[in-house]
Amino acid sequence: MIVPDSRRKWLAAAVPALLMLLLAPLALKRLGRLPQTPPATQAAGPLPTAVPASATAGQPGEHPDELPHINAARAMQYVREVVAFGPRPIGNEAHKKLETYLGAHLKGATLEHDDFTAATPDGNFPIHNIIAKFPGAKPGAVVIATHYDTLMRVKGFVGANDGGSGTGLLLELANQLRGAKRSGYSVWLVWLDGEESVRQWSQTDSLYGSRHLAEKWQKDGTVKEVKAFLLADMIGDADLNIDRDQNSTPWLEDLVFQAAIQLGYQSHFFARTLAVQDDHIPFAKAGVPVADLIDFDYGYNNVFWHTTQDTLDKLSPKSLAITGDVLLETARLLDQK
Ligand code: 1BN
Ligand code: ZN
């Protein structure tokens, strides 16, 4: 068909305008269902409360493939702010300030606290586990945990990776979960305290927070609700190699690997197998399926681990995003089981 020149020009202008009119409500609807998330502050200092989101990147449901894509830059900014408090061993001032900071960033979530006094070889210390609950439609919960305390006995140890990376990552996961309707299990984010030993790692000098919480959940019946316990520890290393852990539950480790494959991140997972003692152990002993996502190859031969070399320059936002996306995708796969 031959279209006259004047009509062709009219059509060229009218068709895009018509398409915009048709698509605008869809785009607005999509924006409308984005949850509001607080940005990471520029520096540690004044504490932000729940601030309306200006950034639209890294929100659940906004990516066309519907796979999780957390906001890596914001996660990294949280880690910077956590590390800026300085060394955060149990009982010190920076540790208290970090607890206040976490509380300020978790407005809008249902918070629970597990507070107690731990008897350690160096005396009594207050321990505070923090739990943020994000409800789902299905009965039961998937726990995603980390620890926020740092090693006491190494002077000047700021734990950017060991303590900092997981703490910042879980704050970003809270942004992803806040306000998002979950058709699957509830997700409980847990910041565990007192993971590190005070003098030397042993059954009684380590895992103070996780041992207490697992026992409490066993006593009050909460363990029966927990479908899986996923731990993130030392997951910020720019050279990310998450180890397969023999103390974790094999089928849950397999599910983590399936999630990693789906996201194209499998090269960062399970090249090596270790048996790791970490915060997942007390929950495994309580009968909960567990998976520890830990990269225990931090620097050549793990030389940065528990040294003053555990600093921000060794980390990468991409590693936080890889771990965060795999955790969320594993939770989604658990929903389907
Ligand atoms: C992880 C980070 N851990 C302590 N800080 C637990 C652990 C202890 C892992 C010994 C492996 C060996
Ligand atoms: Zn440590």
Which of 211, 233, 237, 243 to mutate for ligand 1's pocket (most ligand atoms within 8 Å of CB)? 233
Q: Which residue has the tokens 């734990």?
A: 159
What average pLDDT does the segment 47-69 reach?
54
- pLDDT tens, 276-288? 999 999 999 999 9
How far, in Å, is the centroid of ligand 2 from the Cα of 278?
9
How far, in Å, is the centroid of ligand 1 from the Cα of 194?
12
CATH of domain 70-335: 3.40.630.10
Give the pLDDT band (50/70/90) at residue 44: very low
Q: Tell me the residue length of the chain.
A: 337
- Mark residue 246 as left, alpha or beta (left: phi above 0; alpha: psi -120 to 50; beta: remaining): alpha
pLDDT of 41: 54
- pLDDT tops 50 at residue 10: no
Q: Which residue has the tokens 């605008």?
A: 24
Residue 294 CA: nearest ligand 1 atom is: 1
Q: Is the CB of 277 under 6 A from ligand 1?
A: yes
Q: How far apart are the first and last CA of the chain?
A: 56
Give the pLDDT band (50/70/90) at residue 62: low
pLDDT above 90 covers a percentage of the chain that reads 80
How far, in Å, is the centroid of ligand 1 from the Cα of 201?
9
Q: Count CB-CB contacts under 10 A for residue 308.
A: 12
Q: 142: which 2 tokens?
A: 């998937």
Q: Is the CB of 44 under 6 A from ligand 1?
A: no
Range with lowest mean pLDDT among 30-39, 71-80, 274-283, 312-321: 30-39
What average pLDDT does the segment 92-113 reach?
97
Give the pLDDT band (50/70/90) at residue 42: very low
What average pLDDT does the segment 93-112 reach?
97
Q: Is the CB of 276 under 6 A from ligand 1?
A: yes
Taking the CA of 231 as reference, the closest ligand is 1
How far, in Å, is the centroid of ligand 1 from the Cα of 16?
59
Alpha carbon of 52 to those of 35, 67, 163, 280: distances in Å?
Answer: 9, 24, 28, 35
Which of 147, 161, 237, 278 to mutate for ligand 1's pocket (most ligand atoms within 8 Å of CB)? 278
Q: Is the CB of 307 under 6 A from ligand 1?
A: no
Backbone Cα Rg of the chain: 22
Which strand ranges, in their side-by-side order, compose the sheet holding 110-120? 110-120, 123-134, 182-192, 136-147, 226-233, 290-294
Q: Is the CB of 295 under 6 A from ligand 1?
A: no
Burial 206-241 (b: 16+ CB within 10 A, else e): bbbbbbbbbeebbeeebbeebbbbbbbbbbbbeebb
How far, in Å, is the centroid of ligand 2 from the Cα of 240?
17
